[in-house]
């Protein structure tokens, strides 16, 4: 099922963790509608700007999958409102930092996170309310993930 011109539902539901653990990762109709808005407002503008395929390392997470991988109970991945993007292994020349900066400077979003010095980029769009435009850096401190305002 196409969510937008360049994004398919299979890309946002793919999970090796779910497969390995035998966990269903099927979104509801509401989650799919949320992803369609996220695709329109965030994913497609990124794809059209860089003119290369954009790799999604994590999209939708069912409650069971999110719990199994230790995800936050408030994660927007559970709602179909968040994507983790990872371009660093791509041969396109587009980096995670380039993606992060483009989103930060050009798009509406709810939350944007530089995950572990641009290991990947988390972006969310809340189609149910106002965008917080929250920009954070995630780092490991004493084995725990700590979020702080982006510098």
The tally of domains found in the chain comes to 1
Contact 57, 86 (CB under 8 A): yes
pLDDT digits 0-9 by tens, 7-40: 999 999 999 999 999 999 999 999 999 999 999 9
Show the domain range for 131: 2-149
Look up residue 150 and give its two tokens: 């982006």
Look up residue 63 and give its two tokens: 């409650």
Residue 18 has what pLDDT? Answer: 96
pLDDT digits 0-9 by tens, 35-86: 999 999 999 999 999 999 999 999 999 999 999 999 999 999 999 999 999 9
- The vertex-137 CA angle with 97 and 68, nearest 5°, equals 100
The CATH number of the domain holding residue 105 is 3.30.1380.10
Residue 128 has what pLDDT? Answer: 84
């Amino acid at each position: 099922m196409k969510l937008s011109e360049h994004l398919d539902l299979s890309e946002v539901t793919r999970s090796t963790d779910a497969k390995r653990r035998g966990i269903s990762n099927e979104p509801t109709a509401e989650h799919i509608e949320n992803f369609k808005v996220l695709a329109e407002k965030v994913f497609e503008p990124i794809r059209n700007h860089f003119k290369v395929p954009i790799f999604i390392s994590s999209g939708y997470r069912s409650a069971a999958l999110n719990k199994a991988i230790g995800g936050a109970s408030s994660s927007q991945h559970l709602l179909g409102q968040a994507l983790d993007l990872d371009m660093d292994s791509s041969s396109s020349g587009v980096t995670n930092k380039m993606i992060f900066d483009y989103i930060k400077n050009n798009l509406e979003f709810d939350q944007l996170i530089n995950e572990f010095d641009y290991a990947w980029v988390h972006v969310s769009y809340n189609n149910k309310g106002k965008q917080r435009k929250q920009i954070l850096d995630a780092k490991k401190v004493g084995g725990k993930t700590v979020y702080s305002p982006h510098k």
